[in-house]
Amino acid sequence: MSSCLGPRAQHGCVSFVPSEVRWSTMRRAPLFITVLLTVALAYYVYTPLPEALQGKWKLMLMDAAFRTVIKFVSFTSFPLTHFTEAFNQIIIIFGPDFLPGVKMTEETFGGVPVQVYEASEREGRLRRGLVYFHGGGWALGSASKCSATYDKLSRVLSHELDAVVVSVEYSLFPEVQFPVPYLDCLAASKHFLSAEVLSKYSVDPGRVGVSGDSAGGNLAAAVSQEIAQDPNMSIKFSVQALIYPALQALDFNTPSDIQNHDGPILSRDSLVIFWMQYLGIDLSLLEKIKLNQHMSLQQTLLTPELRARFDWRKLLSPKERQNYRPMVPEKGLDGITKKVPALLDVRASPLLADSEVLSKCPKAYVVTCEFDVLRDDGLMYVRRLRDAGVEVTSVLYEIGFHGCVGFMVEMELVKRAQTDYVNWLRENL
């Protein structure tokens, strides 16, 4: 029913809606808002994952939580100088998962804080030794604070391998950038590899390995290369175990980068930002770096020989290359390799090492995951190590994702990846 009061009201006619209609509309409004919010949340949480992956909703929720924390600390007024500091404070809430029979002591090796994990001592028997570098984009995480992952992993490794595990608390961004984290890890490793220290912890000098995941895998590969070719080191690592390592910062358009650009836990954007922070590149160049303008043909320091060391057209199999095409711009960011020499530094990008250096490296275990932007970094390194004559065990998890070896949620894939990792070390270290 409607009413218009005279000629003056013709253009401002007021409509009267029955009360039962208004009440019905009011009742539908909260339902509409709820549905809208549910759809928005589902869109935010949902990440495309293989059907065969068990417990994938746990992974989606973990990924959403990770992204939420990053956004939260990025856009709120925390009394900290950088969001990575805030994130590192937040992850302290995870309580330690202690394993009976394993003790942890805090020490300083080569001026660097470390946590030393020891299984129950066995008189008259030398033990294995393992140096571990945690992941986190050279900015997040901790050997001890992130106890739901790295503390637990170190305890499991020490217990299962009857090993002395040294987890290194290297310096992080924003306090430091490359090469400080690398130098910290190198100093701690050299200290542990001294005959005196190994004797103190009853470690067999011929059974000491180095390992790490993601950014920690990068550091493990770089430190392994340096120690392998150092004539002053009488004791060297006998094995290296690299878990989805980040090994180069020149091509961010590999097949795995494109395929998994918005993958769980580590997206391509996050990967590029972590690299830029680590190497000291202005974040205003983000979009240009994502387009590989830092490796354009203008970069005269990037010789054909260097380019061949990360040329996935030759280093990946046809199955891995699929139908992707390389992105090598003719022009862009002219002179950036001179302004940021770390881009071509093998200590930052171990994949760029020459074959002679690689040939001296210890036998390797390299884990890669199909649904991971870093998959092709690991696979290219496997190929280069094998071409240099190094014995390599390469494990590609077809339904794997970045972070699965140290994941905090119970999943069959996680258990299998951890078991495979421990078994390889038991057999080869």
The pair phi, psi for residue 116, each rounded to 5°, is -105, 120
Q: What's the rounded Cα separation, in Å, for the pair 31 and 314?
A: 56
Out of 167, 211, 214, 238, which one is annotated catalytic?
A: 214
pLDDT per residue as tens digits for the range 144-155 = 654 567 888 999
The pair phi, psi for residue 335, each rounded to 5°, is 85, 5
Least confident of 60-64, 297-301, 349-353: 60-64
The whole-number average pLDDT for the span 152-164 is: 93
Average pLDDT over all residues of the chain: 84
Out of 63, 372, 376, 377, which one is annotated catalytic?
A: 372
Is residue 334 part of the annotated active site? The answer reads no
Count Cβ atoms below 10 Å from residue 82 Cβ, excluding itself.
16
Is residue 402 part of the annotated active site? The answer reads yes
The domain locations on the chain are 91-249+341-428
Is residue 134 part of the annotated active site? The answer reads no
Q: Of 199, 225, 200, 212, which is closest to residue 130 (Cα–Cα)?
A: 212
pLDDT(266) > 60? yes
Quick one: angle between helices 152-161 and 412-428, nearest 10? 40
pLDDT(405) > 90? no
pLDDT category, 29, cuts 50, 70, 90? low
Stated pTM of the model: 0.84
Return the CATH architecture of domain 91-249+341-428.
Answer: 3-Layer(aba) Sandwich (3.40)
Look at residue 399 in the predicted model and tell me its pLDDT: 87
pLDDT per residue as tens digits for the range 364-378 = 999 999 999 999 999
Look at residue 99 in the predicted model and tell me its pLDDT: 60
The whole-number average pLDDT for the span 396-400 is: 92
Look at residue 48 in the predicted model and tell me its pLDDT: 63
Look at residue 30 in the predicted model and tell me its pLDDT: 59
